[in-house]
């Protein structure tokens, strides 16, 4: 299996709506590894890793987000890294 890694920046109404916790649950459901955190500029940043189908499914979910969120833009770019789980990281 070839691992795909993407750094994702999500903007819109994505803080204060449980986006990170919902993303954590969705990532674990899909078998995605990596991390998610809030940014001080009100965006959510994540690094997601998995096979191509897993990453595409996670990106599709991230374009919609949980109830209460409103995603205005999602930027995904290639990244690197090896992860063993999906975790919440502190705000930067």
Question: What's residue 1's pLDDT?
Answer: 65
> 75-87: string of b/e by CB count within 10 Å (b at 16+)?
ebeeeeeebeebe
Span 4-84: which CATH code? 3.30.70.100
Per-residue pLDDT of the chain (92 residues; tens, 9 = 90+): 689 999 999 999 999 999 999 999 999 999 999 999 999 999 999 999 999 999 999 999 999 999 999 999 999 999 999 999 999 999 99
Question: What's residue 75's pLDDT?
Answer: 98
Three-class SS of residue 37? strand
- Residue 9: left (phi > 0), alpha (psi -120 to 50), or beta? beta
The full set of domain ranges for the chain reads 4-84
Question: What's residue 2's pLDDT?
Answer: 87
Choice among 6, 7, 20, 28 that is catalytic: 20
Question: What's residue 12's pLDDT?
Answer: 98
Choice among 6, 7, 37, 38 that is catalytic: 38
Residue 38: active-site member: yes
Are the C-beta atoms of residues 41 and 49 closer than 8 Å to each other?
no
């Amino acid at each position: 299996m070839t691992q795909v890694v993407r750094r994702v920046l999500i903007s819109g109404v994505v803080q204060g709506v449980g986006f990170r916790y919902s993303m954590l649950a969705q990532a674990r459901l899909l078998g995605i590894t990596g991390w998610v955190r809030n940014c001080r500029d009100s965006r959510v940043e994540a690094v997601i890793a998995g096979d191509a189908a897993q990453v595409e499914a996670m990106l599709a979910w991230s374009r919609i987000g949980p109830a209460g969120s409103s995603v205005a833009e999602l930027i995904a770019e290639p990244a690197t890294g090896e992860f063993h789980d999906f975790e919440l990281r502190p705000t930067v």
